A and B are shown apart, each in its own frame.
Chain A
């Protein structure tokens, strides 16, 4: 049994019939005069069938517009100004090298979500979460489910992460599911098949869950709705302030007199599929400060 698809020839402006299932046959459609000729009932029946099929096709002008994703705060005002927040029901990627502020942003997102009363999950491929940092960032630890993979090899922990994520997405009900792949070697992280990311995106679609992946390099390809790239501009320390007072001093400032007070992080919005028009790359800079800086 074969089916037919009617297309339009761009070159001649005449319709063609593509017979699917019997090779790539292309034949010219008979003219209206031929169709009206008596003694050709099969062609008339075919034409009626084709018309019926055409009638069932929804015109592009009537296609429903996909509703815009609900955006939630990332917990950092500058980041919200850049991206409009994080979309629910979509995959968001945060990538950057070590010390680029990925974990700072992740904890800020977790803090904002838990403070909204949502249950959040952190699937930690490298078992890298520092509980004290999470508490300092304002994460409500009672509402955070921490899944610590990475007891064995990176490959094993990646497998655990993917299976745990599947289970969590199937269970549903979480406000945020964060996948921390930040310490996995890029060659291991790239082994995740694109179909897995498509499955995750499909599973999280139409749910109120924010799916967030933290990694060194973007690996989800076109499956991510939002791609943010982070980088470290400079570290801020008490030395800056003290150095001004000791500019004329001939002795170097001892390390005991210095204190890491924060990081200045730059964020670039590389891709956003939330808007109709392609987003131009945009950059912002935001500052973070250490818990002991006050």
Chain B
């Protein structure tokens, strides 16, 4: 058995998906170059007030109740991808029949999803959650399912062997719906198959053939003599007896949503509303495929402000060289591409684990955009999610406490906004003897290797004396007596000065002499007698610069 999901009036449905608040209003979609824009598609409410495809935009604008929107191929492609996602959540074999039509092979799916009517209803509901109001039909062959979906609204299940009876009441135009669609589209795609279809339809009309039952009842030989093989093919379709092999498509690797704005957005708050909508749609699509995401890519198309030098602006948009520099600094760099009259602003949100929570994503994106504002009005929003298998974790009663990944990610993002992104994370020691031989990296406790339990210090070992660093090191003046350290004077920190009671050293080290950042130093461990206390410090003499520093205190 095969199922077909068909979204009628697809350009309007794509706009409704992006702007659900328009559903209750009369909407017309126009296309074309100004000033020759024409109405391309209308919804039912617009049809009722007399708006028809083919009217000029100027004519349509006379109707005050009407909402006009330009045709968005981007939104249509996104809606089409959502339609395929919805279909692929029910069957691995899905044919991409048209922009508004997908055919599913339901063989073997009954044991997974229930009876055929149940599958059809679930498919209908799934499409509705993705913002697509479609017709669903189930039949024994793909073409019958397509005809039923195009002809009957809602959910239709045609039992095997009753295709001809069920399809009989449909008008013959449904056979040519793929070729003769909208008037505007028909004019645009003026080609041979369409001409032939128009000719066939006119012939059938002259014969008085109005529905598929009448076409199915015609004698085959006589029909073949008059209309040729195409006539026979149409009759087979009308009888619901055509058979062909499904041509499945591969599952999409990237989930994308986009929205084009009529007016540029200046503030981040209205942007959050749109992002929320896109994120919910992406998460619904991912959930339909039992997937999560580990990487979100946000691309904002920005309006290039007049009079602003793209290479050196004052609105926070760095030049490409700056973007390249920031890419080396940050884990999720902002990338700006300035081309022509518009520039693109990219942010990538990498998550430590696959997640699927639109509210969390929205908060993370908001925090990220607060820290890295786009800097110019936004014209277009494009959001892409890299799919990943959801994590599977087995909880345990006796496991040590660990923060929830979603909460942790949000907390880390908030703290990064507080203290700066490079100043939060876990440590990684570098293979060097340089003083600050470490780097910060993302804190991922789940990735921590389950190391073999070591002996805890309290169970036998003594504690290790720790150094407490001064960042930056304190510059000091050292007095020598007979070539020995005698007194240390520090203007920045009064308690870190005094006479040297005890000293050990120097310990000489150097490195990176083959690099520009060569270093060479002598280290002492000293005890300083201050006014009322004694403290231990690490004193460093920079052999290249000649300065003395207190690097830290033993504490």
Contacts and interface: CB of A to CB of B under 8 A. Distances in A.
Given A75-B457, A104-B465, A289-B464, A208 B470 contact: no
A260 B553 CA distance: 13
A145 interface: yes
A105 B464 CA distance: 9
B445 interface: yes
Interface stretch (A23-31, A34-42, A52-60, A170-178): A170-178
Nearest to A165: B415
B419 interface: yes
B190 interface: no
B426 A256 contact: no
B193 to A, nearest CB: 61
A98 B535 contact: yes
Contact of B427 (A79, A116, A131, A138): A131
Interface string B386-427: 000000000000011111100110111011001110011111
Contact of B463 (A104, A119, A140, A147): A104
B53 to A, nearest CB: 55
Contact of A76 (B457, B504, B555): B457
Contacts of B428: 141
Contacts of B506: 255-256
B59 interface: no
B459 interface: yes
Interface in A75-131: 75-77, 79-80, 97-108, 111-112, 115-119, 126-131
B400 A175 contact: yes
A235 B527 contact: yes
Contact of B424 (A103, A107, A145): A145
Given A111-B456, A160-B418, A128 B426 contact: no
B273 interface: no
B463 A130 contact: no
Contact of A289 (B420, B460, B465, B503): B465
A44 interface: no
Interface residues of A, number: 83
B524 interface: yes
Interface string B543-555: 0000000001111
A291 B553 contact: no
20 contacts: A75-B458, A99-B535, A99-B554, A99-B555, A100-B555, A107-B464, A111-B457, A112-B457, A127-B423, A128-B468, A129-B468, A132-B437, A145-B426, A146-B426, A172-B407, A235-B527, A258-B502, A260-B504, A260-B554, A263-B465
Contacts of B437: 131-132
Contact of B445 (A143, A167, A262): A143
A44 B88 CA distance: 76
A137 B426 contact: no
Contact of A146 (B425, B450, B463, B503): B425
Interface string B430-447: 000000011010011101
A135 B399 CA distance: 24
A144 interface: yes
A55 to B, nearest CB: 40
Q: Which 3 A-B pairs have the closest CB atoms?
A: A173-B403, A142-B448, A258-B504
B363 interface: no
B534 A99 contact: yes
Interface in A197-213: 208-209
Query: Which of A80, A99, A175, A263 has the most chain B CB atoms closer than 10 A to its own CB?
Result: A99
B468 A142 contact: no
A204 to B, nearest CB: 12
B449 A142 contact: yes
Nearest to B436: A131
B462 A103 contact: no
A263 B464 contact: no
Contacts of A133: 464, 466-467
A170 B411 contact: yes
Size category of the B interface is: 35 or more
Contacts of B524: 255
A288 B469 contact: no
Contacts of A79: 458
Contact of A134 (B420, B427, B505): B427
B406 to A, nearest CB: 10
Contacts of A150: 471
Given A117-B400, A145-B426, A235-B502, A290 B414 contact: no
A172 B212 CA distance: 66
Nearest to A168: B411
Given A167-B415, A286-B463, A76 B401 contact: no
Interface string B449-485: 1110110111110111111111100000000000011
A165 B137 CA distance: 57
A160 B419 contact: yes
Contact of B457 (A108, A147, A183): A108
B525 interface: yes
B426 A141 contact: yes
A50 interface: no
A212 to B, nearest CB: 15
Contact of A130 (B420, B469, B484): B469
B280 interface: no
